[in-house]
Every structure is written in C-alpha cells, then in structure tokens.
Chain A
Amino acid sequence: MKPTEQQAISRRKFLIGSAAVAAGVLLADKGWVDAQPFFTPEGVDVEGLERAGYLVRHTICHQCGAGCGLTALVKKDAPPSEENMLIFGNQHPEHPQRGMCGRGATAPYTWNSPLRLRKPLKRVGERGEGSFEEVSWDQALDEIAAKVREIVERDGAKAMAFSTHDYKAEMQLLAWPLGSPNVISQASTCNTAGVVGRRWMMGSGFDHHATIDPDYDNIRYVLFPGRSLNAPIGAVHRLAKAREHGAKVVFLNPAHPDVAFANSDWIPCVPGTDAAFMLGVAHVLVSEEKYDESFVLNQTNLPFLLKADGKPLTQEDLVADGDANVFALMSVDGEIVFHDAAGIQPELTYAGTVTLADGSDAAVTTAWNRLVTHLADYTPGNAAQITGVPAATITRVARDLFIMRGVVEDTWYNTRNGNDTDVIMGLMTVNALLGNLDQVGGLGVRLGSKLPGMIGRASDGTVSLITGDSFLMEHTKTIDKEIYPETNATFDAVFQGILDEQPYPITGLMLVGATIFHRDPNVARAIEAIKKLDLLVTVDIVHQEICDWSDYVLPAEMFLERDHIKGIGWTQGISVALQRKVTDPPAGVDARPDAWIMLEILRRAYPQRAAMVGHYDWMSDVATWKNEWMHPIEELRIEGLANAWNRDPAEVRRELEENGFITFQPKQYGLTPYNRPFASPSGRLEVYAFRPVLRGYREHGFATYFDPPAYTMPRAEDEFFLVNGKSPIGGSGVAGLAFPTQYLVDNRLWLNPADAERLGIAMDDEVEVEGLDTGWKAKVNVNVTPRVIAGTAFVYSYSGGHRQKVVADDPRFAKLSKGLAPHWFSKSWVDPITGSNSNNASVRIRRA
C-alpha cells in the first residue's frame, strides 16, 4: 500500500501525502510558486490556497459515463488554459470511484482539442458533406425554435424525438413541455438486455447496471462474462487490491480485454454463447450438488410450484377469491403454503398433483425440478460444443466459483447478439445457486442515494420540477415502448418512426452527446433516416461524425466547465458526488449548458411552455440563468438529499465541496433479499422468471441458449463474427476523438493467427470487410493476434472509422479516420419483447 493511503485526513486536508506535495511541485514548475507552500506531506491547506488565489475543485469525470472522481487545481483570475489547471485522480482513500484511467487522462486533451466545437454551426452543404457556416447563438436558437414549432404544429409534438447518452433530464426540459414523450436514450445498444434480465429476475429498482456489483474489496473469485471492466476505474482499483490478496479474476470473452493483462484468466468463447456457458456452469453446480441449499430454498423461487403450462401455481388457482400474485409452494410437511407467509419450510423437489379451486386436479412440480430437467441439455460437453470452451474449463470454473465463494459479475454493455437477456438470466442463475448475494465478497446490491432529480413525471402524466412547477402531459408513452413492451429505451424505434412512419411519423430529432454512427447499429439505415428528417440538431463537445449530418450543431459545456450533483454507481455503499466547475471554456469556445440550450429553444418556440418550467426571456443571458434557474435547482436537490439523510444542507454542500463526495451509508451486508425483498413478483431472486411467463412473453422462465438471431451466422471459411469492445483509453464517444487515442488504441481489425494463416493474411495487411447483412464494405489493416478467438474478428469501438470532414482535413487526427466503425456491419436486429438491440455482426473478410 502506498503511504498516501495510510495517512489520516482532516476536513481541511483532503489531498494527502506525496500526491499533494507533487501537485505543489507541479504548480511551482508551471510558475505557480506561490501555491507550493500550501502543499505539505500532511495534506493540502485549502483555505490557505484559496487566500493565495488558488482553487481546489473536485469533480466527476465525464470522459465516459462511469463518473469517477477527479480533482483539479486552478488558478483564480487567470485565463483558462492547460497551464492554469492541473487534473488528476481524486486521492481521497475513501472515494468510492477514485482515480483516473486512460479516458480521464484525455480530459485536458479534449478541453482545448482542435476538434472542440467552438461556435454554433449551420449546415450550408448537403447532409453529410460537413460544410457549415458559423452563426450566432441567437440565430441558431431562433431558427431551430421556428423549425420545432413548425414540426409540432404540422406533425404533432410526438414527431419530435430526442436522444442522449447522459442528459435525459436536460432534454426532458424541452420535450415534455412541448408535449413529446420521446426522450429515448441509447440503452438498447448498451445495457437493455441486462436491465430486462435483471428486472425479470429481481424486479424494478434492481435492474440498473450500476446497482448490482461485486463487493470488490473482499472478492475471492469473480467471473466477468462479456465485460471488460474498463470502467469505472474505482472498481478496477479495488479489484487490483483484491487480486493482491489472492482474488482470482476470470474473463469470458471472444476477445482478450485489456484489464485481463493484469494476472487474470481469459477464457475465449464463441460470440453469443455466454448463456450456454452459464447454463453449463449451472449444470455442474446442480449435478455436483455444489449450491447453497439454504439460499435456493429461501431466497429464490426454485421451490415454487409450477403448473404443466409453465405458469406458477397461485393462490387464485387454489382458493376461491385467491390472489393471483400470491404463489404456492409445498412445505416439507406436505402442506401447500403461500409465499407471503412467514416461516415457510419448502420442499425443493416436490412433484405431484394438487386440487385446484374449481375441483380439478393439476400436475405441479417445483421450479427446481424443472431446472434440473432444463439443465440436462447443458452438460459441460454440450456447452463446450456451443461455446468453444473446453468442458473441463466449464467444470473447473463451476467448482472454483463454489469452492472460493465467487460471483459472476452482472455486466454493463451487453446488447450484442440478440440472445443477451438469456446471458444475464443465465449468470444470475449461477449466482442464485452460489447464494452469494449481498455477502462479504459477494454480489452486492446498492440502495438508492435518495438524491432528488431535477424533473420527474408521475404515472398520471403530471410532470413536476423540483422547484414545484408542474404541468400535465397528454401522451406519456414513448414511441419505443409502443413497439417493445419491456424496453428501457430503444432508439431504433425512432428510425422506424422516421422511415416507416410507424406507429407514427418522427420528423425532427435532437441529439445531446449522442454519437449516433458510433452508437447505433446499421449506419446505412441511420443515414437513410437522417436524410428524411426535417430537422436534426446536435449538441456536443467535440465534432462527432453525426455533426456533419446535422442542420445545426451547438457547442456544449464539457464537464470541466459545469456544476452538477449526482449519485455514484458501481459501489457498495451509498454515495453522492459533486461535479464542480474547474474552468471556463478555452478562448474561442462559446459553449453553453445543455439545459439552457433546451430551455432557450423552448422559450423561443413557445414562451408560455417555457414558463411552465420556470424559464423566462430574461434568462437568455447564461450567467443570469445559472444564478436564477440552475443554481436554485441544484440547491433544492442538495436540500432534498440532506433532508432524506437527516443532514444539514449547508453541511452536505460543504462536505461535497471539500471532499468531492459523501458516503451517506457504508455497505450493509445481508440486507437484500434477506431482509429487503426483491421487487420481483415473488420478492425473491427468480431463477424461473415469472414476469415474462405471466405476461405471455415466454413459455418458461429459465435462461435458454439459442443461436444469435442478430446476424446471419458465419459459415464459409472467410466469414466471421465481428465483435467490438471498449478500450480503457479511447472507449467513449469523447475519449475516442482525443489526440492520444489514435496512438494508444489499436484501430486495426483483430484476427486470430489460425484464421489469418488460412486466408493468407499477414500482420498489417489490408483486408476488405463486407457485412453479410448490411453489405457495407470497408478496408482496414489487420492485427494478427491470439487476443481474439478463431472464427471471430474484433475491433475497438469509438477508436476508428471516424468520417467527419474535420478529422479528414486535420493531419493531426488523420489516424482516427482509419479503422472501422462496427456499426457499419450490424443490421440492427431488435428483440421484439425486450427491445434490446445488437451491435455484433457477421462479415466476409478478404485480402484487399
């Protein structure tokens, strides 16, 4: 352990040890000699620094969506420049997501990047051409507002769609008062499969990818199926410590993840077969009786009785006027008991006949019995044939998981092959058998932070701001939910609305921080849709490829330039962090806050509707707006947070400013689901998911393996799966465009040496890649590497195939235009129930 982590900290001295002094010396070296005396091995004298004209600013990194803790030092009253600010990882040893990875390290590169958007742009050439003229904010906002008004009045408010990665609330400030429910994030190309899988097994509130996470501090064995753990970096940091204490880390992935360089096992598998692997592991656990029987009996629905049709036996089946939401079990005494009763001692293997309320007899059996039968198809040998992983490895993983009391991580980005929901269900089945939930070194369940949002909507359509402003929305169902009943957000529905005008036409689209071409599958179709739009507005930090297709491009503030408060995810305790403004934008960058942009468009289109959310014409000045609109809202959020935790708001703010975060509650083990039931129909971890069965989506509730439906399966010897993954350097829309990314992230196509030899392809050879489903053709250089399984090609997402004109025109960024964007080749297959999209594809590869 570094000395920095051993030293005690005081309120006023939060940067500690050598890091603090280092910062001091750095300052001195950059001509900040006056600041140096305030840095001592004991910590940083913040007050002294402030008196001397230096600011310490803790913030939340936003170079990707993980939100890790950074700290910046800035010189007061100095012009914004790289020389006047220093950014490094928040060194507080208790920070739940401390540290800076390769993406965070690109933040200063992004801030004043030649690719940074500097002024509002208006398209002057054809869409896609990348020809713009700079216009004033007034002109841009007035023209956009007029167009929005035209669309709303001609096609209805719902014809306006909005999409973003992280700024949903900001977009809702415009969309909801307009009357459009259609703020649709990118979830379906990221996490939808996992969210739906978790919701089906644990219920709402337990479905978010940042809610369930391994207890890294105490982990003994962790298996990452399909996750590369390139973020958040706090998790990586804690995992590194656990590894030092002997923890075993295993990645199941078609391609070798960068984090696996660190003494980890990598099990290469055929893409889209993780569910078979998980069910193979489950098979071993069950057949070798290596499962936690108490957990299975008391915390899962495996003892629950199922009828022959696969539906659960309910109280309604058995008792007149019984409750359909109360499920039946057979007790060890041979009595039918209901799941909501106390002190149940269920029989796990019961099979027999019960008499229903109507007097008829029905054959019933426990979900456990059905599971045993179900798993019979997934012997390690069978699973090996599907996954390409040796049967012995599957067996070994199962045994190690059990012996070492391990966990299977529940993934983040998982929308890949079209069968991904079953992967999550499969891995949660394994976790259920291991019974290692919410225990020390287990899979922890994080509780909510109680941080109130800026804007919210009740089920009756009442929209409320935290300020108390409210109004009623007529249409609240988003277009994607009209098509995909279980989705959390499927942007593909917007393309359907544009192209097919089904279920209704979409004619206007607004994007904030949404890198469409590097986020949504089937770029050709996206282009076709975009060409049909009446209005496309993009708000972003750097000039993304989608900007070239937009009618207006508006420069937004980056995280270094704004204040915000948000909860910290992927942790065990309950923590909230403060994103504090570090600096103004660099000279020449006229960037504005996302929320202000949305509100100004609304005000210029419909002043009365802007008034519904408290925005008025005298707020068109950004500084005034920040003082009069934004600041009070952030204060109210802090007040709400403080009240929820019985804390003084002023004290909460002070602590947030001093440390960058507050942990309101450390991890409490043994809570969920033991003392706090899940939100599933049974309140238990439903290995047999009732929800999709009861809603008629599925015949049975178990995870199942089936061939990926998302693409034509590669069959010929020059046909391959094309998979993609993120690098911890350039693995985000913003970091992908940073200068160092083009040198530190490989944007070649990875091919296994066996495949390369067969096709006569050598290292760095140029090949032509053709999508089997999309027909898209592109040329790329090859990296012949065993880092990818045979039969599969791999590319890092975001790091190649950038086709915007500014990139092509600037020789410093020329390398970014090389490589591939994986979405050129994926056809955008969407699961009709879950709405989960899929980013993988199949391609033909030939020597160019």
Chain B
Amino acid sequence: MSTRLRKGQAPTKRMAHVWDASKCIACGACVMACTSTNNPDMMMREEKGWNSIASNIRRIDSVSAQGRPEVLLVQCQHCEDAPCLNTCPFGATYMDDNGMIRLDPRMCSGCSYCVTSCPYNVRWFHPDSKLPKKCMGDTCLELVDKGLQPACVQSCPAGARDYGDLNDPNSSVSVTLRTKRSRRLLENAGTEPKYFVVEGS
C-alpha cells in the first residue's frame, strides 16, 4: 500500500491522468468500466446528484464558442494543491506518495466538505456507505498500487487515455505532454491539477 504524506512532505511520484480529446470517440466504455470495476453494487443504481450512472467519470457534452461540438470527461484531478485536502476536517482526505488524493474511510464522517470544496465537481456520495466516491475507486487503487493501469485506461478502445508518472521523463504521459499540446482544467483555480487534456495530435 502506498503511504500517507504529512503536511509539507512531497510525493515521490506524481501520477497523472492524460485524456486525449483528439482521440476520444465518446463511446462511454471508460465511464461504464469504472462503475463495474469499482462499484459493481451500483450497476443498476442511479447517481441521483449527477443524474448519471455511479461512475467516477463525468461526461459533459458542450459546444465550443466557435460552434464545434465537444465532449469533456472529468474525474478527480489529483491536484497538487487539492482544496479537498485542505478542507477535510478530520484528515480523511490525504495525498499519498504517488501524489494521489485518497480517502481513509476510517476517518470520514460524511460531512461533504470535500464535495463542496472540489472545483471540478467529481465526488459523489455512495448511497449506502455515504462515502464521497471519486477516482480512484478501490479496485483501481489496487491496480495502480501495483504499478498497473486503471480500468478507464484499459477499457478505452481508442487509446485516448493514459496514466503515469510526471516525475519520470520517460513515462508515456511525460512523453505525450512534451510532444502534444495539452491543457488543465480551471488552470487559474490554483489547484495544480494532474489531469491533462490533450487537445490535438
């Protein structure tokens, strides 16, 4: 298991998600794979707040100012300066040494402060455990703790997803981010998100 960082400690890895908007075909496989991998008990239950399935990935359909149809997939950004980490009154939310924002269920009382303090709106309440769920889910955490790829990356048929260490210059995500134009969401929120949207090949 990966260790919990204390205030002021820097992670040894900075694991990041890359979602390539120029490759995504909006097929929803990652959204569904996330649910069936991490929350199989929610396969036939609605996430009422988002009016969606209980996935850690939100799909947003929109149109650019120039009239181009766009789709955006959003999930926990594993911010380097995560607001949820600052607001959690009991320290249940923490950063691990992979730079991932995680939740210790033992310390969570379900106050929802992490939900209102996340600028990306990526946490949902599990109706039974009342835990604020988000990427990564429990099974994906097991995968990445072993250095493997999470479900969304594995399920993508278009190769639009990747996950890796920003500290490793040779990781596939580092190579992608060096060679392709990318952006981060709500850049000026000061959260230093580690979810990168590749805009063009």
Q: Which residues of A contact B (CB under 8 A)?
A: 2, 18-19, 21-22, 25-26, 28-29, 82-83, 88-89, 99-102, 104-106, 108-109, 113-114, 230, 233, 236-237, 240-241, 243-244, 256, 258-263, 266, 728-729, 739-740, 743-744, 746, 785-787, 812
Measured in the bound complex, the distance between the Cα atoms of B43 and A493 in whole Å is 41
Measured in the bound complex, the distance between the Cα atoms of B70 and A263 in whole Å is 10
Measured in the bound complex, the distance between the Cα atoms of B59 and A21 in whole Å is 28
Determine whether B32 belongs to the interface, using a CB cutoff of 8 Å to chain A.
yes
Measured in the bound complex, the distance between the Cα atoms of B43 and A665 in whole Å is 41
Measured in the bound complex, the distance between the Cα atoms of B38 and A25 in whole Å is 12
> In whole Å, how far is B63's beta carbon from the nearest beta carbon of chain A?
6
Against A, the Cβ 8 Å flags (1 = close, 0 = not) of B136-160 are 0011001100101101001101111
Determine whether B69 belongs to the interface, using a CB cutoff of 8 Å to chain A.
yes
Q: Which residues of the other chain, B, contact A237 by a CB distance below 8 angstroms?
A: 157-159
Beta-carbon contact of A236 and B25 below 8 Å: yes
Nearest B residue (CB) for A105: B32
> In whole Å, how far is A160's beta carbon from the nearest beta carbon of chain B?
38
Beta-carbon contact of B155 and A82 below 8 Å: no
Beta-carbon contact of A82 and B40 below 8 Å: yes
Q: Which residues of the other chain, B, contact A261 by a CB distance below 8 angstroms?
A: 21, 24-26, 69-71
Q: Which residues of B contact A (CB under 8 A)?
A: 21-29, 31-33, 35-37, 40, 43-46, 51-53, 59, 61, 63, 67, 69-71, 138-139, 142-143, 146, 148-149, 151, 154-155, 157-160, 172, 200-201
Measured in the bound complex, the distance between the Cα atoms of B200 and A262 in whole Å is 9
Nearest A residue (CB) for B150: A22
Beta-carbon contact of A258 and B26 below 8 Å: yes
Beta-carbon contact of A101 and B46 below 8 Å: no
Measured in the bound complex, the distance between the Cα atoms of B42 and A812 in whole Å is 12
> A100 is contacted by which of B45, B53, B59, B155 (Cβ under 8 Å)?
B155
Beta-carbon contact of B149 and A22 below 8 Å: yes
> In whole Å, how far is B137's beta carbon from the nearest beta carbon of chain A?
10
Q: Which residues of the other chain, B, contact A743 by a CB distance below 8 angstroms?
A: 46, 51-53
Beta-carbon contact of B22 and A109 below 8 Å: no
Beta-carbon contact of B148 and A812 below 8 Å: no
Residue in A25, A233, A266, A743 with the greatest tally of chain B CB atoms within 10 Å:
A743
Could you list 29 examples of A-B contacts with CB < 8 Å? Answer: A19-B154, A21-B148, A22-B149, A22-B151, A29-B139, A29-B142, A88-B154, A101-B27, A105-B29, A105-B32, A105-B33, A109-B44, A114-B44, A233-B157, A240-B157, A240-B159, A261-B21, A261-B71, A263-B201, A729-B27, A729-B28, A739-B44, A740-B32, A743-B52, A744-B53, A786-B69, A787-B63, A812-B44, A812-B46
Nearest A residue (CB) for B147: A18
Q: Which residues of the other chain, A, contact B33 by a CB distance below 8 angstroms?
A: 88, 105
> A728 is contacted by which of B26, B154, B155 (Cβ under 8 Å)?
B26
Measured in the bound complex, the distance between the Cα atoms of B164 and A361 in whole Å is 78
> In whole Å, how far is B51's beta carbon from the nearest beta carbon of chain A?
7
Beta-carbon contact of A26 and B157 below 8 Å: no
Q: Which residues of the other chain, B, contact A99 by a CB distance below 8 angstroms?
A: 157
Beta-carbon contact of B69 and A105 below 8 Å: no
Nearest B residue (CB) for A22: B148
Contact of A28 with B142 at beta-carbon distance under 8 Å, contacts A19-B154, A241-B159, A262-B158 already known: yes
Q: Which residues of the other chain, A, contact B35 by a CB distance below 8 angstroms?
A: 740
Beta-carbon contact of A105 and B158 below 8 Å: no
